[in-house]
Chain A
């Protein structure tokens, strides 16, 4: 029987309309704007100056902290400005503006299609390469890959899980790279497996992607690395959630507040695996990724999967793809369950961009909320086993202690509760706010405890 995670989950219509659209390469725009916040953690610090000539693949910013990443230029040209610019949500962030001149790549980058199948054995060198090439997790969280691939001493990776679930409706970019770049992904897995000390690697793919499953199985068989296998999973959202995927594949549950490595798991997206392959085998930094242009109000012949370069304005991509459809009422970056509504089409692609999703008003409009009928369907749908109806009420009453006791921090914001609620109550809105509040309280408490401990230490030393 096909595996899946045991607690909660929902079955939205998967709408993988663009599944058969082969990846096309987007032509270069005149200007790109590269954000310094392409990853989880501290923003990167620019190392170029206005007027500098840069080549594609050249470092333009260094990590701004331990959890941070290098950023590279995605094009060749001249740095025009280093200034704040609005991202898709309208928040300000430093961007490096580069006027495109030709398409010249930095030295040492192998742009050929030749497959490099030999796996290097120097663990430290590979980790350094992954870091220098700015590889981050491309499954949504954009967590720096070299940090996750280098577990703290004392913890041991027992299984590398490649996330090919792509459980969000509409998105098909992972599906396409699994079909078109399957061998590269498998080699990337073999490299990460080596870095992690040779643990087995499992590629988890949902059953609604038969072509991707076949392609990956074929690549695994042909390349014949030891200990890499494909696991077909039942279709259920949010299977691609890190904890859910670990639960489905390994039958282990990460404890509340714990990291995947605590149960021996390291999860990386298939797109990250491709980026690792390109970084380690081809010396190519992460400056490209795949994105789906799709939606319920976009005819199938206008849907595309594009290979984009980071820093391309969304409006440029939309225009190239044929313009924003007349019926679109909302444009989402990411999937319809967890993606962000785009407030600003002048914003630019980042490493983790995955889609331009056009939704019609009828498809996406929120219905008016009515009274909770206590049906408990939100609790049944919650993949973390929480009780959204209760968290919602506690949050409305500002009961932060109870919220913490009822594990509001475990919420992964997957949206299953709100998706399911027959009374259309905006459960996730309230819970997300409460989560922020409780996080603030927990941090303040930790800071106070630390200060008290230091004061006590200082007192005893006197």
Chain B
């Protein structure tokens, strides 16, 4: 008899792999990506290419020459970071700002801590905040570049985001703005924030494929809505309603794709809820009382730092220990 393999059980493995999970995230981001390219045209396509290529390139360089490890590009996590980062900057962002952002995301945030699975902060969020602080003008230039489908959206071209308008002029400036259109398309804002529907489609896909669990995302939405509801009930003349807060800015993109990042979010369900509530609360505090019109990135970044503590407190519910 020929020699047989001998190893410990289990002798079979599920088809699940890191690459498959990351591929699922990319697939879930496709609707939002396609919409952004349709609306913002060639310049958006170039930003996506620069971001993804730089992320892959930096990871390859670091693993090959600095860490001298096996190439990890195959797990597709660098593609996810590149894609998310490009969708998190304004469509007018200069290519070299994008380039610097991508280097920072992979070089400083991901690989410095040891690569996939080791980073404390979400690379795309950290890079976005880094760019926002370093290049404030480029990162808040909401002019709209020429897209592939002009005619349908000519009248909605604007130079500011809805949240920007709110921060500058208050709720009265929003009179007449039909923000429900953000469900389908809303020009002005980061490239990935055009269509709430496209993002929600991605959310449903991720849930169906069991890539993520809904608790983090839902607790962010719940907290944002509750916070907004309280202020709206107190003074509807001064504050917008909950739906406005959910649909505008980065709440959907952040809560579905960034806050649910495996590495930088808590492991347990209840930990996830605490984390989500924290993100929601911080987002609304920044929106209503901070100097920035939008706070999702800061909120996620801050809560990332608390994840190790949350993991220490919240654990899985054990069998037979009710």
Chain A residues whose C-beta falls within 8 Å of the C-beta of B318 in the assembled complex: 256, 384-386, 407, 410
Using A7-B317, A379-B316, A387-B267 as known contacts, say yes or no to A422 and B5 having CB atoms under 8 A apart. no
Is the beta-carbon distance between B13 and A374 smaller than 8 angstroms? Answer: no
B176 contacts chain A at the CB level, 8 A cutoff: no
- Chain B interface: which of A129-137, A213-221, A336-344? A336-344
Interface string of B81-120 (1 = CB under 8 A from A): 0000000000000000000000000000000001111100
> Chain B at the A interface: mostly helix, strand, loop or mixed?
loop
Interface string of B1-21 (1 = CB under 8 A from A): 100111111111110111011
Partner of A256, one of B9, B11, B315, B320: B320
Interface string of A423-435 (1 = CB under 8 A from B): 1101011001000
Cα separation A331 to B6 with both chains bound (whole Å)? 8
Using A255-B321, A371-B116, A373-B116 as known contacts, say yes or no to A328 and B11 having CB atoms under 8 A apart. no
Using A375-B262, A376-B267 as known contacts, say yes or no to A385 and B8 having CB atoms under 8 A apart. no
Cα separation A377 to B114 with both chains bound (whole Å)? 22
Q: How far is the CB of A260 from chain B (nearest CB, A)?
A: 11
**Between-chain CB contacts (< 8 Å), 6 pairs:** A345-B1, A370-B18, A371-B116, A373-B77, A374-B117, A423-B18
A396 contacts chain B at the CB level, 8 A cutoff: no
A330 contacts chain B at the CB level, 8 A cutoff: yes
- With A371-B117, A374-B263 given, can you name 14 additional A-B contacts, CB distance below 8 Å? A10-B14, A256-B318, A256-B320, A324-B1, A329-B5, A330-B4, A336-B9, A343-B4, A364-B5, A389-B267, A410-B320, A420-B16, A424-B17, A432-B8
Is the beta-carbon distance between A253 and B21 smaller than 8 angstroms? Answer: no
Chain B residues whose C-beta falls within 8 Å of the C-beta of A375 in the assembled complex: 21, 262
Cα separation A256 to B318 with both chains bound (whole Å)? 9
Residue of B nearest to A253 (CB): B320
A366 contacts chain B at the CB level, 8 A cutoff: yes
Is the beta-carbon distance between B262 and A376 smaller than 8 angstroms? Answer: yes
Q: How far is the CB of B297 from chain A (nearest CB, A)?
A: 21
Is the beta-carbon distance between B13 and A366 smaller than 8 angstroms? Answer: yes
Partner of A364, one of B12, B16, B72, B77: B12
Chain A residues whose C-beta falls within 8 Å of the C-beta of B115 in the assembled complex: 371
B141 contacts chain A at the CB level, 8 A cutoff: no
- Chain B interface: which of A182-190, A411-419, A447-455? A411-419
Chain A residues whose C-beta falls within 8 Å of the C-beta of B4 in the assembled complex: 328-331, 341-343
Chain A residues whose C-beta falls within 8 Å of the C-beta of B8 in the assembled complex: 341, 426, 428-429, 432
Binding site for B on A (CB under 8 A): 7, 10, 12, 169, 243, 247, 253-256, 258, 315, 324, 328-332, 334, 336-343, 345, 359, 361, 363-367, 370-377, 379, 382-387, 389-390, 406-407, 410, 413, 415, 418-424, 426, 428-429, 432
Cα separation A379 to B13 with both chains bound (whole Å)? 16
Q: How far is the CB of A241 from chain B (nearest CB, A)?
A: 10
Q: How far is the CB of B26 from chain A (nearest CB, A)?
A: 15
Is the beta-carbon distance between B12 and A370 smaller than 8 angstroms? Answer: no
Chain A residues whose C-beta falls within 8 Å of the C-beta of B65 in the assembled complex: none
Chain B residues whose C-beta falls within 8 Å of the C-beta of A373 in the assembled complex: 18, 21, 77, 116-117, 262-263
Interface string of B240-258 (1 = CB under 8 A from A): 0000000000000000000
Using A253-B319, A255-B320, A374-B267 as known contacts, say yes or no to A336 and B10 having CB atoms under 8 A apart. yes
Cα separation A418 to B7 with both chains bound (whole Å)? 13
Partner of A243, one of B21, B262, B320: B320
Cα separation A386 to B321 with both chains bound (whole Å)? 11
Cα separation A383 to B17 with both chains bound (whole Å)? 21
Chain B residues whose C-beta falls within 8 Å of the C-beta of A329 in the assembled complex: 4-5
B43 contacts chain A at the CB level, 8 A cutoff: no
Partner of B12, one of A169, A256, A376, A383: A169
Chain B residues whose C-beta falls within 8 Å of the C-beta of A364 in the assembled complex: 5, 11-12
Using A359-B11, A364-B11, A423-B18 as known contacts, say yes or no to A370 and B1 having CB atoms under 8 A apart. no
Is the beta-carbon distance between B6 and A370 smaller than 8 angstroms? Answer: no
Q: How far is the CB of B76 from chain A (nearest CB, A)?
A: 11
Q: How far is the CB of B151 from chain A (nearest CB, A)?
A: 44
Q: How far is the CB of A340 from chain B (nearest CB, A)?
A: 7
Q: How far is the CB of A244 from chain B (nearest CB, A)?
A: 9
Is the beta-carbon distance between B9 and A337 smaller than 8 angstroms? Answer: yes
B322 contacts chain A at the CB level, 8 A cutoff: yes
Cα separation A254 to B268 with both chains bound (whole Å)? 23
Cα separation A370 to B76 with both chains bound (whole Å)? 13
Cα separation A413 to B319 with both chains bound (whole Å)? 14
Cα separation A377 to B322 with both chains bound (whole Å)? 22
Residue of A nearest to B318 (CB): A385
Across the A-B interface, the 4 shortest Cβ-Cβ residue pairs:
A415-B10, A385-B318, A371-B117, A330-B5
Is the beta-carbon distance between A365 and B321 smaller than 8 angstroms? Answer: no
Cα separation A340 to B117 with both chains bound (whole Å)? 32
Cα separation A343 to B263 with both chains bound (whole Å)? 39
Using A258-B320, A328-B4, A374-B263 as known contacts, say yes or no to A363 and B12 having CB atoms under 8 A apart. yes
Using A364-B5, A422-B21 as known contacts, say yes or no to A12 and B315 having CB atoms under 8 A apart. no
Is the beta-carbon distance between B5 and A336 smaller than 8 angstroms? Answer: no
In this complex, which of A255, A376, A389, A426 has the most chain B Cβ atoms within 10 angstroms of its Cβ?
A: A376
Is the beta-carbon distance between B267 and A341 smaller than 8 angstroms? Answer: no
Q: How far is the CB of A448 from chain B (nearest CB, A)?
A: 27
Is the beta-carbon distance between B268 and A422 smaller than 8 angstroms? Answer: no
Chain A residues whose C-beta falls within 8 Å of the C-beta of B18 in the assembled complex: 370, 373, 422-423
Chain B residues whose C-beta falls within 8 Å of the C-beta of A366 in the assembled complex: 7, 13
Is the beta-carbon distance between A379 and B320 smaller than 8 angstroms? Answer: no
Residue of A nearest to B317 (CB): A385
Chain A residues whose C-beta falls within 8 Å of the C-beta of B322 in the assembled complex: 253
Cα separation A350 to B77 with both chains bound (whole Å)? 49
Residue of A nearest to B5 (CB): A330
Cα separation A359 to B20 with both chains bound (whole Å)? 24
Chain B residues whose C-beta falls within 8 Å of the C-beta of A255 in the assembled complex: 320-321
Is the beta-carbon distance between A370 and B72 smaller than 8 angstroms? Answer: yes
Q: How far is the CB of B63 from chain A (nearest CB, A)?
A: 12
Partner of B9, one of A338, A342, A345: A338
Is the beta-carbon distance between B1 and A338 smaller than 8 angstroms? Answer: no
Cα separation A9 to B161 with both chains bound (whole Å)? 46
Chain A residues whose C-beta falls within 8 Å of the C-beta of B12 in the assembled complex: 12, 169, 336-337, 359, 363-364, 419
Partner of A377, one of B11, B16, B321: B16
Residue of B nearest to A379 (CB): B316
Cα separation A62 to B322 with both chains bound (whole Å)? 42
Chain B residues whose C-beta falls within 8 Å of the C-beta of A386 in the assembled complex: 316, 318
Cα separation A338 to B12 with both chains bound (whole Å)? 10
Q: How far is the CB of B79 from chain A (nearest CB, A)?
A: 14
In this complex, which of B118, B315, B322 has the most chain A Cβ atoms within 10 angstroms of its Cβ?
A: B315
Residue of B nearest to A8 (CB): B319
Residue of B nearest to A372 (CB): B117
Q: How far is the CB of B251 from chain A (nearest CB, A)?
A: 24
Is the beta-carbon distance between B316 and A382 smaller than 8 angstroms? Answer: yes
Q: How far is the CB of B261 from chain A (nearest CB, A)?
A: 9
Cα separation A359 to B317 with both chains bound (whole Å)? 35
